[in-house]
Structure 1
Amino acid sequence: MRVKCVICDTLHDLPNDLPLAKKLRNRPIHTFMCPPCSERITDNTQKRIETGNFRFFRTSSKFDEEF
């Protein structure tokens, strides 16, 4: 299965029997992100969390109170 990265628009080939390939075929809302882009976003997010300027936004106040 040929997939395109959402961020860098590079094409990748996934084997058809992978669970990720099945998820992408059956649920079009799911998107593919290549491993280098995924690692880059993870690293940048970790750096932002360490600075203390990163806030997690919750969907509702009831959800926050339960934590």
Structure 2
Amino acid sequence: MRVKCVICDKIEAIEDESLEAKRLRNRPIHTYMCNECSSRITKRTNARIDTGNFKLYRTKSEKDDW
């Protein structure tokens, strides 16, 4: 299966029977990101978390209301 990275527009080939290919076929909202872009985003996010200025906003669950 040929896929295109949403960030750098690099076209790669992945196995047709892989779990990632199945997810992309069955759920069109899922997007593909190449390994270089994924590792770059992970590294930069971890650097922002280490600064202490990073806030992760999550939706409230029912447990938070108690």
> What TM-score results when the alignment is normalised by the length of structure 1?
0.88
Q: 1:61 and 1:18 mapped to 2: Cα distance?
A: 33
Q: CA deviation at 1:60?
A: 2.5
Q: 1:26-46: CA deviations, max 9, x gaps?
A: 110000000000000000000
Among all aligned residue pairs of Structure 1 and Structure 2, give the percentage whose two residues are the same amino acid: 55
Superposed CA deviations along residues 18-59 of structure 1, whole A, max 9, x for unmatched, are 010011011100000000000000000000000001000011
TM normalised by structure 2 equals 0.90
CA RMSD of aligned residues (A): 1.6
Structure 2, unmatched stretches of 5+, are none
Q: How many residues of Structure 1 are paired with residues of Structure 2 in the alignment?
A: 65
Alignment correspondent of 1:24: 24
Deviating beyond 3 angstroms after TM superposition, the runs of 4 or more aligned structure 1 residues are none
- Structure 1, gaps ≥5 residues long: none
**Equivalents in 2 of 1:53, 1:27: separation in Å?**
34
